Amino acid sequence: MPLAKCGWLGEFLNRYAENRMVKLLVHWVLSALCLLLVANFVPGFYVRGFGTALIAAVVIGLVNGTIGFLLKILTFPLTILTFGIFWLLINALMLKFAAIFVPGFEVRGLWPAFWGGLILSVLNMIIRQVLKNRND
């Protein structure tokens, strides 16, 4: 039975699900735009176009959510000893790894991956904050 036919609770859940979906899609598009922005400023960081950036954003999210998450847990003591610098190195390696799977998305070298990962992290923090404040 569709939730919309379940009264006020169904309507609330439908609105909540729609809001979450719109928020997810907006975040996805903004993440792709951030990739294009980074590609314009970081030498060695290449994205062919917006479609490639959309695919790359999904792959980066999947890589960071699986392998990146596991690596960050395993290397947490090293991250503490380096005051978080090692975390940035893991982000750089995850960007290079994601670039293997997306044609038209290239990260040529560790330094472009490092600076690209750093800038993407800052831009994504800003996006999350803006989207969070918009709903409050």
Phi, psi of 49 (to 5 degrees): -170, -175
Band of pLDDT at residue 99, cut at 50, 70 and 90 = very high
Distance CA 127, CA 26 (A): 10
Residues 6+ apart with CB under 8 A from 61: 31
Global pTM?
0.81
In this predicted structure, the answer to whether residue 60 has a pLDDT above a threshold of 50 is yes
- Produce one character per residue of 31-40: b if its CB has 16 or more CB atoms within 10 Å, e if not: bbbbbeebbe
CA distance 39 to 43: 7
